[in-house]
Structure 1
Amino acid sequence: MSADETNVNESIETSRRQYLFGAGAALGTLGLLGSAGRMAAAEDYETITVGAGETFTKNVGSGETWENKLIDISASGATYQIQADGSDWTIRNIGIVGHYEDGHTEPFRARVTDPNGTGVIENVYVAPTVGDGNATGLYVYWNHVGHIEIDRFNVQNWTDNGIYASGPGNSGSHSVPGAGGTVTIRNSYSKNNDTSNFRLGTHGSKLVNCCAAGGSSRGHWQFYESAEIVDCDLGGHTSDLALGDAVWEKSNHASLTMSNSRWETAHAHGGASTANIDGTPQGSPVDRVPDGCPTSAEEAANGSGSVQEPAPKPPTDKNLVAFVTKPDARFAAYEFRANGAVEFTEAPYESPSGGHIEGGTYTAEDFVEQIEDAWHAGGVTGGGQGDAFLVDGPVTSVSVDQPDAMWIELDGERVSANELVERTGGSDEDGDDTDEFRTLEIAGQCEYRVEVSGEIRPAEAHAKWLTEGEAYGDDWAEWWLSGSDTARTVWEFTGEITSLEIDDRVGDTELRTLAVDGKELDHGEYVDTGPHRLEIAGQCEYRIEVSGEIRPAEAHAKWLTEGTAYGDDWAEWWLSGSDEARTVWVYTGEITNLDVTDYDGVTDVRTLTVDGKSVEPSQL
């Protein structure tokens, strides 16, 4: 976290403080899908070449606009510092090229100091190779109090966060309490940034039409409070969505509202819960650079950005329905039913990976058939290709066998299965839904049994794997999921769920998805999600290992150093035997090991409780 608040003029300095970090270089590459179309008109720009061992420094103040600069840090030890301070400032058309090492951990910093003020950062490319161990692409100060609008920002390869903007949400007990300022990030691309690609932490902040593509940890990290994510793709991370933190109690309430967005994985830290994610994925995420976002430093500096032509509309009044796949998809099956004629067609555009979208090309699997007054169609595709149909009437049902590898498009726009039915007019408008089938979706690793008041059956795409009488009956279903990326089952049922029991599978329980009619249920009602509190007092040395994460409780955190006293899933400490010798730990999962030994020749455990209940060390 930066503590540098000095005001400096634009300059290049040959003497600077040395920041010592690991030297492992994160040599990222541009992985851009989709071809750029026409370019906006170019403007003149200034190239600032930073010499070896020098630092270019620029402070942008209230009412100032700083624009059209290409900063070249290719020379050995060349770095930069950009800081925006005050109110109503603008930074635009800035590109960074070269290698960043031995500089400030947050070389690009911003805040608005007037609660009614704004700051604008737009058309920026910050994707050098990075050699420092904890460096952030763009940092928003904790004492930011107004609003910052970030538009068309391309940030890659940073060894900490891509855009780190959660500090304004810091709790009052934090050493640097947050001021509550908001941040909106639009049309931006963040890739291969280690801690997270995007990070927000205040009510009213938003992520709109952005893409987070890969990195060692998180796509979007909602550290505190709530944010909206609209029209975004987040994929290729351990956690495409992450909520909360194990140290700060305020993080337990982190939440997200998702709208027309695509992601695959979601995890919560500490006491946060993925049940606080409102919305479901609308297909699979795609690695894409949003329209207008620059794809090079030069493109940013001269004021241009990539602009993609919109997909042409189909040439008739019929609906163009397409099933499109990722490049690594293999034999992805789908089918749908419609109350109107269906025919194969070719879409007038390509898939995001440049593949052909045409129905009927796989003659062994693709089909269209009329059954009395209804139509039934389906097929198999993959490899970044797709199948397309013209549908003259409402689609009444649709299923996709590999939703992680295939998505649905209606007239060139990505939609969910429910949206396809609703928007083509295939939903039941009578209000009589007594016998209407609902859906239960389960994904992850577990064994489960569900009972309903009506009937239950596997969805069409899953029926071939499930045997009636063994996996399900009239009003029950009982099955298991292995935990693989494709471990998922969808059931169709009528009435209500009267019982749902979830147990471990091969010793582990993980619920990635538990949703009824597309709405995620509270996982904590069915599995133990924690967090738990372990309190230990007396005189001893001890080591704890857990199956989830562990952190000191907030009141104890200031005495305990991460990496020395604890890590992700372990804690190791000592107690002196004084009246105040006590530590409280917060953890998720289960305690897998607890070792207690003497301290200074004495072992005296006065208190050992889990969630307030006394336990013996041997029980753990």
Structure 2
Amino acid sequence: MGALASASDAVKGAEYDTITVPAGQKRTIRLGSGETLENTLIDITADGASVQIYPSGNDWAVRNVGIKGNHPGGHYIMTPGVPDKDGSAVVENVYLGDGQTEGSAKGGIWVNGNLPHRGTITFRNVHVGQMVDNGLYGMDSGYSGIGGVVHVEDSFFYSNNISNIRVGSVDGRTCRVDNCVVRVDDGATPPCGVGCSAPGAVNPRGVWAWFDAVQVTNSDIGGPIARDTKEGGYIEDENTRWGSEANTDRVPDGTPMTAEEAASGTSSGDSSGGTTTDPDDSDESDSPESGTVLELIAESGTSNVEYEFTVDGSVQKRTSASDNAAEDNDSITDNGDGTVTVSGVSGNGYGDSFLVDGVVTSMNLNEDAWTIRYDDQEVQVQDIALPKVLVVDGSNKPRVATEYTFTVSGSAEKSAALGSVNARDTVSDGEISGRIIGGKDGYRFSGDITGFSIDGPAQVSVEEDA
């Protein structure tokens, strides 16, 4: 599959295609069985721009892909998975080395334990650097008793927090790490942030083995916590140097050192060559799931009650939620405009569960027949569905500042899809304030606007049921 076959903002380069993500927006790329994303540079250098890649199925490939620019956090850059135990896939010659915003949520790669991942993924010639919540997080499906395998070959990891390489399979299959280098420099690891049980902590483990054997061969794993284990995991090593003995100046042959090198399939890496705290769990993420959990639970005594909701963003079925697991008869439809619509049916105390990465814009159901839980809190539709849009647009005066404040009777949330995201913009208890200089800020909200003030030339627009 050509990565840019339908991308209107893609520009053909000499050796690869380029996708440029505008400021404040997130590009979502999905792959299915047999599909390939290759020879692509994804530019997220604009303020608040991000990308999320979802390869899911058997025999897919992500190859020669470079992510250029700082990851703003809030989600993992890549969430791959292979659902069939005998299935396999490959991530090859990929660059995620430009780092992540300190204190933000999530990290580099999380192997999709919600799918769940059962097969084998091989990561080869991958470069992951300075991520907040794990560089390569490859073992989560073990929590549900379902084993998935991750192999890492000829790859370079630099100062990723919590762990650089985190692998292990619960069903007795062995994960391998071969010819890899982990380098940890003083002061280079971004502190743990949102979602961590100890925000601000720095704990860049080298190889973290979970559940069973992890073979580490021909590698150089640096840092004060070069090796660590948990939940029965252990390391079998051969021809591997650890900690201060490791040669972390080398880069495995073929590993890209820039996004451009990855996209073009080249490498300046030189295999010849030419380093933090307590190893407890205090900085682990409480949940590796990508998105906010939304549960819809039908009241006892009901039968075949229906629901439907729309999200500006993406939604995944949560299949490991016991009685509230989403099932095959629950549908997720891509509307082709950046939104997805989810519909389903349940009854008699059972329900469905989803992972929502975005903003719920509408929800249609009989509230008397349902209990709604969002982010582990019982809510009503009016608490989470934000059907209205307010945009403050200063592009008509690109060098003049505009400050604004408005209040709403319902809830509000900043929308990266509608404008920029920065520290000057705040949302608290229905009051929103911000500042733009020639840019655009956008919000979704419910209820009515109860107050508004603006100082500057920006234009304001409001849409109902947008």
Scaled by the length of structure 2, what TM-score is found?
0.50
Deviation at 1:352, TM superposition (A): 3.2
**Uncovered stretches (5+) of structure 2, i.e. residues with no partner:** 190-201, 283-466
1:166 aligns with 2:139: yes
1:52 aligns with 2:23: yes
1:118 aligns with 2:102: no
Residue identity matched to 1:107? I
Residue identity matched to 1:189? F
Deviation at 1:55, TM superposition (A): 1.1
Q: Equivalent residues in 2 for 1:430-509 (5 A)?
A: none
Match of 1:70 in 2: 41
Deviation at 1:305, TM superposition (A): 1.8
Contact 1:169 1:225 in 2 (8 A): no
1:230 aligns with 2:217: yes
Match of 2:248 among 268, 286, 292: 286
Match of 1:144 in 2: 117
Residue identity matched to 2:253? D
Q: Equivalent residues in 2 for 1:286-435 (5 A)?
A: 286-306=248-268, 308=270, 352-353=273-274
Q: 1: CA distance between counterparts of 2:77 and 2:161?
A: 16
Match of 2:100 in 1: 130
Contact 2:216 2:235 in 1 (8 A): yes
Match of 1:334 in 2: none
Task: Label 1:81 to 1:286 Cα distance change in 2 as closer, same or farther (>3 A).
Answer: closer
Deviation at 1:239, TM superposition (A): 0.8
Q: 2: CA distance between counterparts of 1:123 and 1:308?
A: 15
Match of 1:264 in 2: 243
Match of 1:157 in 2: 130
Q: 1: CA distance between counterparts of 2:279 and 2:131?
A: 27
Contact 1:12 1:55 in 2 (8 A): no
Task: Label 1:167 to 1:11 Cα distance change in 2 as closer, same or farther (>3 A).
Answer: farther
Deviation at 1:307, TM superposition (A): 5.6
Deviation at 1:241, TM superposition (A): 0.2
Q: 2: CA distance between counterparts of 1:234 and 1:134?
A: 25
Q: 2: CA distance between counterparts of 1:69 and 1:308?
A: 23
Residue identity matched to 2:167? L
Q: 2: CA distance between counterparts of 1:158 and 1:210?
A: 17
Count of matched residue pairs: 251
Match of 2:168 among 201, 216, 225: 201
Deviation at 1:104, TM superposition (A): 3.6
Q: Equivalent residues in 2 for 1:28-107 (5 A)?
A: 44-101=15-72, 103-107=73-77
Contact 1:11 1:58 in 2 (8 A): no
Q: Equivalent residues in 2 for 1:236-255 (5 A)?
A: 236=223, 238-244=224-230, 251=231, 253-255=232-234
Contact 1:264 1:285 in 2 (8 A): no
Deviation at 1:178, TM superposition (A): 4.5
Deviation at 1:113, TM superposition (A): 1.1
Q: Equivalent residues in 2 for 1:465-614 (5 A)?
A: none
Higher alpha-carbon Rg: 1
Q: 1: CA distance between counterparts of 2:219 and 2:248?
A: 9
Deviation at 1:77, TM superposition (A): 1.3
Deviation at 1:128, TM superposition (A): 2.3
Contact 1:235 1:287 in 2 (8 A): no
Residue identity matched to 2:243? E
Match of 1:185 among 130, 152, 156: 152
Q: 1: CA distance between counterparts of 2:225 and 2:27?
A: 35
**Uncovered stretches (5+) of structure 1, i.e. residues with no partner:** 1-8, 14-41, 171-176, 245-250, 266-282, 310-350, 354-403, 405-546, 552-620
Percentage of identical aligned residues: 35
Q: 1: CA distance between counterparts of 2:181 and 2:279?
A: 29
Contact 1:93 1:122 in 2 (8 A): yes
Partner-residue secondary structure (3-state), 1:207: strand
Residue identity matched to 1:183? V
Q: 2: CA distance between counterparts of 1:128 and 1:74?
A: 10
Deviations, residues 70-102 of structure 1 (Å, cap 9, x unaligned)? 01111111111100001000110000111221x
Residue identity matched to 1:239? I
Match of 1:210 among 180, 198, 220: 180
Deviation at 1:160, TM superposition (A): 1.0
Deviation at 1:69, TM superposition (A): 0.7
Residue identity matched to 1:56? R
Match of 2:373 in 1: none
Deviations, residues 414-449 of structure 1 (Å, cap 9, x unaligned)? xxxxxxxxxxxxxxxxxxxxxxxxxxxxxxxxxxxx
Deviation at 1:108, TM superposition (A): 0.7
Query: Larger relative CO (CA 8 A, sep 6+): 1 or 2?
Result: 2
Contact 2:128 2:156 in 1 (8 A): yes
